[in-house]
Amino acid sequence: MHDLIKTWDGEHVVVRYDRESGAWIFVAVHSTRLGPATGGTRMKHYSKPREGLRDALLLSEAMTLKYAVPRFPRGGGKAVIALPDDFDRTGRDKLLLRYGDLVRSLRGAFQTGPDVGTSPKDMDIIAETGAPYIFCRTPDRGGAGDSAPATAFGLFCGMEAVCEATFGSGSLAGRRVLVQGAGSVGGRLIDLLLDAGADVLFSDVNPETVMRFRDGRGVPFIQPDDLFNTECDILAPCALGGVLDGKTIPRLRCRAIAGAANNQLAERADAERLRQRGILYAPDYVVSVGGAMAITGIEAMGWTKEEAAERLRGVADTVREVFALADAEGIDTDSAARKIAERNLG
């Protein structure tokens, strides 16, 4: 763990071993240059606590980039609660309350919302001890609710800019879009795409989710094994990270990639691999900022829902700016977006 932290370029990490549950908690504050570090709390099983730490470190950097590209006044941070194999779920709420204590002890240096494995209901619990640093509580408890619809809408707007650059028209009508992961963001993205008249396909590993979209909604299902060989206009990774690497990229049969999963590239060189293949990649942190931005705007900056929607449409402008710079300099889109972020971080 020592080596991971030493080679990471963030500000600080708070590590807590929660003896009662056996969980490891990692709060990674990557950058507070533009504002307080804000990012989701991811709660899941990892093969080793070290893998949870690695995830927290990388995800916190992605949050810095997310806010920096559109110059949103927040910094990058992320928390991971790495659950032990023998985790006793009856102790889940108590663990969340202890986690809330930890967040409040940081006095605002880190502020959080939901992520993989946590929900607005969980934010209600965490806020009992962690307020006022907890976003996305349910509307009953005075929060703005789930961030996923805003993430999906921002991503959809970004996808229109991707269509413009790839096909010369921003419309998604008739475009074949393959959504990987029909969870909280991917599921809503599917709805937006269907409304826009897109030809949607999806893949998921959760049998209930597959039933809901394939049998309930009639959306064609692609087996996870076939995901990367399936021909489509746009691939939308909306599950976990690390899906684009030296093995999958050569198999891809899509024209562009735009999805909400954080850290889709296994390594930075994969952006260049995509460019070499002529696949237009919209960096994940550029198109997935919607939830974090809209909720923080509404709950902490007094935005109305309309203002938030307007800012979400702005994701399309950021995507255009990134593609224009990549074109002008002949570099991959991830490098272009990082350049913009670095410039904005001053």
Size of the site for ligand PHE (CB under 6 A): 14
Task: List the one residue from 21, 31, 32, 147 that touches ligand PHE (CB under 6 A).
Answer: 147
Q: Tell me if 291 contacts ligand PHE by CB under 6 A.
A: yes
Task: List the one residue from 36, 39, 76, 187 that touches ligand PHE (CB under 6 A).
Answer: 39
In the region spanning residues 198 to 257, those forming contacts with ligand PHE, defined by CB under 6 A, are: none
Tokens 């995901």, residue located: 227
Compute CA 207 distance to the chain's CA centroid, rounded to the nearest angstrom. 23
> Which pairing describes strands 12-18 and 23-31: parallel, antiparallel, or unpaired?
antiparallel
Task: List the one residue from 24, 26, 67, 135 that touches ligand PHE (CB under 6 A).
Answer: 135
Considering only 20-28, 36-44, 49-57, 236-244, which stretch makes contact with ligand PHE by CB under 6 A?
A: 36-44
The catalytic residue among 6, 44, 78, 305 is: 78
Q: Tell me if 133 contacts ligand PHE by CB under 6 A.
A: no
Provide the 8-state DSSP code for 211.
I
In the region spanning residues 110 to 129, those forming contacts with ligand PHE, defined by CB under 6 A, are: 113-115
Q: Tell me if 56 contacts ligand PHE by CB under 6 A.
A: no
Task: List the one residue from 295, 300, 316, 340 that touches ligand PHE (CB under 6 A).
Answer: 295
Quick one: which H or E segment has residue 100? helix 92-105
Q: Tell me if 61 contacts ligand PHE by CB under 6 A.
A: no
CA dist 37 and 57 (Å) reads 13
Widest CA span in the chain? 57
Strand, helix or coil for residue 73 = coil
Q: Tell me if 77 contacts ligand PHE by CB under 6 A.
A: no
Query: Would you call 44 a catalytic residue per the annotation?
Result: no
Q: Tell me if 75 contacts ligand PHE by CB under 6 A.
A: no
Question: Cβ neighbours of residue 220 under 8 Å, at least 6 residues apart?
Answer: 200, 201, 202, 214
Around Cβ 206, how many Cβ atoms within 10 Å?
12
Minimum Å gap between C-beta 25 and ligand PHE is 17
Left, alpha or beta for 60 (phi > 0: left; psi -120 to 50: alpha)?
alpha
Q: Which residues pair with 39 in a beta bridge?
A: 112
Which stretches of the chain bind ligand PHE, using CB under 6 A? 38-40, 113-115, 135-136, 147, 262, 291-292, 295-296
Residues involved in catalysis: 78
